[in-house]
Structure 1
């Protein structure tokens, strides 16, 4: 089913990214998949997998940079945005099944794909389990494991890593402006928004796409807390997830940023972790300077590298 729309909160003024959205049946409900570039006649289709509290519209800037003849399909993963109504199971194995369902729905045998943050872990796991479905993979600031000590508090670790992205799950906001003001407490968001007016609009539309009406006329995050926790735990303690990137047999690239989710140094993937990841000979690593965990999928100089990797 194809639905034309912008995927924003009803009745709210917003900058909007107009997309074509498709409904894909998955276990537990219907997954929303956004066509951010190209169409069914495009000779090349790229599958894009977003981060843990993000949504498919996080790839709008990449979509605008794609050459002609390229289609970009970006699902809202289960438990987020327009796929928030999908019930469990949660966890990265469920995302893998959903991604394969998306490829099957569109009749795609084998595609290049990109995953950012948690999406990189989900994509690496999908490509390790289904190597025949992925032509090449691009992992952006995620996808390699940093094992968690036994007995570690996963919730505390998620809160420390995600910062405002985690805190927003239990908050409500009077309107989009209040939500944006809160997100701007994160210097990584401020830096990304400052990259230019078009990028700022892309960023804001992606952020607003997460908002849903709550009782009392306020807005809140669409993210299902149980989904976020399960997915986050998998990136920390699931041995198959932690080693998936080292099992890849197709060409791949891992990009990593110097600064993290809150603009801190070191970033999510410190240099020593990248060096010790044990990636196979088909996967190269590339440091992207002058960016943080968010701006690496918005900044021109970072997307130049991403595009080169996607098209070989």
Structure 2
């Protein structure tokens, strides 16, 4: 599905926003990506929506076409940017959606700016990540964020080499598509043979620390005054059994987050957004919230 890239004024410059236009009068959804992702990660969902809504998916501060936006970074900075995007889009409360780190951004934005959100859809993120027994929160943060930070320093001689790196990733096995490749290639900066991720390491570290260790991120979903729901993947980052959340954990936190929590079968942390089955499930819930 065709889209355009717009520049929305925010503090320090322009926020790059991918826009998939809906039919005239279609509702608007703002969709937020994960820690080292970019707005094109939402392209499979946009295809599944097929123009039923207008989807706005920014490259968040410090990523892809917004990589030149300066710090400070962190969830509060993203919330200010998203609030500015909502005002740019008309200033009316919109459906906010977020995947992984973006789910925490959506929750913090809606909690800080309740007039910006009419509803929130969290996709495999947004609730505190449970810490396994015997591991502290800082160790868990390093386990999740460390590999992402180390990848930022990797250099690739060609786009084909970068493609091969991701094709070999277990979470993308069986879920590859032209849209996935475009999203991943959108991350690259530089020229061959010196290509590397466009993500600013400072942004990734600050955002990751906020998600894993920040009190605001941990409590934002529980402070929402608008309707909200969580879609969660039963498999994890490496397509392994057991994802970020499970039914036992979600029952335990239901008092703090009383909204619906729905598993999306046969998905992992990535394919819940970029695989066909996951994208269709997310699109259905966005449409239900938007109409």
Aligned positions of 1:54-133 closer than 5 A: 54-133=37-116
- Residue 178 (structure 2) pairs with residue 201 (structure 1): yes
Instruction: Tell me if structure 1 keeps the 8 A contact 2:52–2:287.
Output: no
Aligned counterpart for 1:302 among listed residues 256, 278, 281:
278
- Partner residue in 1 for 2:248: 272
CA positional deviation for 1:279: 5.3
- Residue 265 (structure 2) pairs with residue 289 (structure 1): yes
CA positional deviation for 1:147: 6.5
CA positional deviation for 1:153: 7.7
Higher mean alpha-carbon deviation, 292-301 vs 160-169, is at 160-169
3-state SS in 2 of match to 1:192: coil
Instruction: Tell me if structure 1 keeps the 8 A contact 2:171–2:271.
Output: yes
3-state SS in 2 of match to 1:123: helix
- Give the Cα separation in 2 of the matches to 1:186 and 1:141: 19
Aligned counterpart for 2:220 among listed residues 244, 247, 255:
244
- Give the Cα separation in 2 of the matches to 1:54 and 1:173: 17
CA positional deviation for 1:269: 2.0
3-state SS in 2 of match to 1:24: strand
- Partner residue in 1 for 2:34: 51
- Give the Cα separation in 1 of the matches to 2:4 and 2:209: 32
3-state SS in 1 of match to 2:173: helix
Higher mean alpha-carbon deviation, 53-62 vs 101-110, is at 101-110
Q: What number of residue pairs does the alignment pair up?
A: 286
- Give the Cα separation in 1 of the matches to 2:100 and 2:198: 19
Instruction: Tell me if structure 1 keeps the 8 A contact 2:32–2:57.
Output: yes
- CA RMSD in angstroms comes to 2.4
CA positional deviation for 1:23: 1.0
CA positional deviation for 1:307: 2.8
Instruction: Tell me if structure 2 keeps the 8 A contact 1:249–1:282.
Output: no
Instruction: Tell me if structure 2 keeps the 8 A contact 1:164–1:186.
Output: no
Aligned counterpart for 2:188 among listed residues 204, 211, 234:
211
Higher mean alpha-carbon deviation, 295-304 vs 275-284, is at 275-284
Q: Deviations over 1:36-65 (max 9, x none)?
A: 2327x4431110000000000001111111
3-state SS in 2 of match to 1:311: helix
Change (3 A) 1:159 1:265: farther
Q: Deviations over 1:185-240 (max 9, x none)?
A: 320022321xxxxxx100000000000015x7411000001100110111111111
- Partner residue in 2 for 1:3: none
CA positional deviation for 1:26: 1.5
Change (3 A) 1:58 1:79: same
Aligned positions of 1:147-162 closer than 5 A: 154=138, 157-158=140-141, 160-161=143-144
Change (3 A) 1:77 1:161: same
- Partner residue in 2 for 1:27: 11
3-state SS in 2 of match to 1:263: coil
3-state SS in 1 of match to 2:266: coil
- Partner residue in 2 for 1:171: 154
Q: TM-score, normalised by structure 1?
A: 0.84
Instruction: Tell me if structure 2 keeps the 8 A contact 1:147–1:236.
Output: no
Aligned counterpart for 2:210 among listed residues 234, 242, 263:
234
Higher mean alpha-carbon deviation, 183-192 vs 121-130, is at 183-192
- Partner residue in 2 for 1:220: 196
- Give the Cα separation in 2 of the matches to 1:220 and 1:303: 27
- Give the Cα separation in 1 of the matches to 2:148 and 2:208: 12
